[in-house]
Amino acid sequence: MNDYYATLGLSRDASEADIKKAYRKLARELHPDVAGPDGEERFKEVAAAYEVLGNADKKAQYDRGVDPRGGHAGAQGGPQGFGFEDIFEQFFGGGSPFGGQQRGPASRTQRGGDTLVQTAVTLKEAVFGVSREVQVDLADVCSTCHGSCCAPGTQPQQCRQCNGQGVVQRMARSLLGNVMTTSPCPACGGYGTTIPSPCGDCSGQGRTHSRHTIKVDIPAGVETGTRIRLAGRGDAGVAGGQKGDLYVEIREKRDEVFERRGDDLHCTLEVPMTAAALGATMMVDTFDGEQPVEVRPGTHAGSSVKLKGLGVGRLQRAGRGDLIVQLDVHTPTDITDEQAELLRQLAALRGEEMPEANLAPVGGGVFHRLRDAFKGR
């Protein structure tokens, strides 16, 4: 295991102040302005030692015989630490002075942003899917400068202030004295080039905006909030950058007859009292055309009939949900005298002239049947 105390020239009972003082002293001696490139490896060892001993938790691990850096001193940080570059930046405010990775000129080219547009669909369109045209304002590559950002006949010029490097150096004071730091060039914004004559049509952005009509295939099963991604159909990027993505967000309109619950559709069918008592076949107008609904004899209000495969198409899956038809037994209120007489005769035949008030058991009434029917969907 590396002896970090010896690296800093300290004994194992050194205090926090002693550790910091020793590190600063060695850092000054090994600074590149003093020691030159030859001091790089030694400075890395000192930085690694301070990374451990300068942190209370890591120092406690090290004092127990565990190297939190995994036993590797030098430029790379251990499993729980940070590297030499981070320590140098903490104390000097810049990158490594020993020829490591240095920031160069930035690229003007940037990817375009993603664009979101909404479109409304009917419930029937959500059931089967539909092709739709949407209107959206998008950025396109400028047809005048073709993304160069320059006026025709001109081109970017190398920045005179940074000589095309995109960064400038300056002397700054720190705890260790005067050090050299780098920052983006203020003249060119870090690009290394300037544009003396920007394109007049795009104001030097390399892109212009216009309205587009885009066809989108909306699959079956979409609902409010569903987003369809059209890759590479969004805004063009700055300075000829690649296009972003276009997202089409769905808003589903409410239907007057059918209600959607997941992949199933629900509707209510009014059944005449006589049909409920005797049974009947009733035709229902669905999204798939007229379909027969079998009303069994003695049907109660709140009963339901399931028509399989007539619901909503499943998004990115095969098949469709079901259509659930709730039966509502309709009791007439505008009957004629003749009809009333026939009903009284029926009541007499059934012994119901003076019906008894028999309370239904819990769970057996019409309201419970209605509740269970809706809970089961």
- Has residue 266 been placed in a domain? yes
The CATH number given to whatever domain includes residue 65 is 1.10.287.110
- Complete DSSP assignment for 68-84: TTTT--SSS--TTS--H
Show Cβ contacts of residue 104 under 8 Å, excluding neighbours closer than 6 positions.
Answer: 165, 166, 167, 192
81-85, 168-172, 206-210, 328-332: which range is least confident on average? 81-85
- Do 122 and 248 share a domain, yes or no? yes
Q: What pLDDT does residue 65 have?
A: 79
Q: What pLDDT does residue 37 have?
A: 62
Q: What is the pLDDT of residues 271-306, one digit of tens each?
A: 999 899 999 999 999 999 999 999 999 998 889 999
Q: What pLDDT does residue 150 have?
A: 94
Strand pairing category for 246-252 and 193-194 = unpaired
325 token code pair? 């038809």
pLDDT over threshold 50, residue 215? yes
Cα dihedral sign, 33-38-43-46? negative
Rounded to an integer, the average pLDDT of 369-373 is 55
- Complete DSSP assignment for 318-339: SSB--EEEEEEEEPPSS--HHH
Reported as a pLDDT band with limits 50, 70 and 90, residue 376 is low
Q: What pLDDT does residue 24 have?
A: 84
Mean pLDDT value across the chain: 83
Rounded to an integer, the average pLDDT of 46-50 is 86
Report the range out of 3-17, 43-57, 138-152, 341-355 with the highest average pLDDT: 138-152
Rounded to an integer, the average pLDDT of 78-85 is 42
- Do 128 and 240 share a domain, yes or no? yes
- Do 264 and 332 share a domain, yes or no? yes
N-terminal to C-terminal alpha carbon distance within the chain? 67
> What is the span of the domain harbouring residue 302?
259-375
153 token code pair? 């006949």
Count how many domains the chain has: 4
* Contact criterion met (CB below 8 Å) for 122 and 255: yes
Q: What pLDDT does residue 99 have?
A: 43
- Distance CA(163)–CA(169), nearest Å, equals 12
Characterize 167-191 residue by residue with b for buried, 16 or more Cβ atoms within 10 angstroms of its Cβ, and e for exposed.
bbeeeeeeeeeebebbebbeebebb
* Contact criterion met (CB below 8 Å) for 109 and 236: no
- Do 14 and 126 share a domain, yes or no? no
- Do 278 and 348 share a domain, yes or no? yes
Q: What pLDDT does residue 67 have?
A: 80
- Distance CA(284)–CA(342), nearest Å, equals 29
- Do 78 and 133 share a domain, yes or no? no
**How large is the C-alpha radius of gyration of the chain?**
40
The CATH number given to whatever domain includes residue 293 is 2.60.260.20
Whole-model pTM above 0.75? no
- Distance CA(364)–CA(170), nearest Å, equals 87
- Number of C-alpha atoms within 13 angstroms, CB side, residue 229? 5
- Has residue 265 been placed in a domain? yes
- Has residue 134 been placed in a domain? yes
- Distance CA(313)–CA(219), nearest Å, equals 9
3-state secondary structure of 65: coil
Cα dihedral sign, 46-51-54-58? negative
Rounded to an integer, the average pLDDT of 71-98 is 43
- Do 132 and 245 share a domain, yes or no? yes
- Complete DSSP assignment for 191-221: SSEE-SSB-TTTTTSSEEEEEEEEEEEEPTT
Q: What pLDDT does residue 199 have?
A: 93
- Has residue 69 been placed in a domain? yes
Q: What pLDDT does residue 142 have?
A: 94
351 token code pair? 């012994």
Q: Which of 77, 92, 107 is the last residue of a domain?
A: 92
- Distance CA(248)–CA(228), nearest Å, equals 5
Work out the percent of the chain whose per-residue pLDDT is above 90: 48
Number of residues assigned to the chain = 377
84-88, 181-185, 313-317, 353-357: which range is least confident on average? 84-88
- Do 281 and 328 share a domain, yes or no? yes
- Has residue 109 been placed in a domain? no
* Cα dihedral 358/359/364/367 (nearest 10): 120
Q: What is the DSSP letter of 150?
A: B
- Do 143 and 31 share a domain, yes or no? no
- Distance CA(58)–CA(61), nearest Å, equals 5
- Do 276 and 370 share a domain, yes or no? yes
- Do 271 and 359 share a domain, yes or no? yes
74 token code pair? 């030098």
- Distance CA(296)–CA(275), nearest Å, equals 8
- Distance CA(319)–CA(12), nearest Å, equals 73
Q: What pLDDT does residue 331 have?
A: 86
Residue 354 class from Cβ within 10 Å (0-12 exposed, 13-18 middle, 19+ buried)? exposed
- Has residue 152 been placed in a domain? no
Residue 361 class from Cβ within 10 Å (0-12 exposed, 13-18 middle, 19+ buried)? exposed
- Has residue 107 been placed in a domain? no
Rounded to an integer, the average pLDDT of 333-362 is 81
Q: What is the pLDDT of residues 111-163, one digit of tens each?
A: 998 999 999 999 999 999 999 999 999 999 999 999 999 999 999 999 999 99
Q: What pLDDT does residue 372 have?
A: 59
- Has residue 38 been placed in a domain? yes
User: What's the helix, strand, coil split of the chain in %, to 5?
Assistant: 25, 30, 45
Rounded to an integer, the average pLDDT of 60-76 is 65
- Distance CA(68)–CA(262), nearest Å, equals 53
Strand pairing category for 280-286 and 157-158 = unpaired
- Do 294 and 352 share a domain, yes or no? yes
Work out the percent of the chain whose per-residue pLDDT is above 70: 81
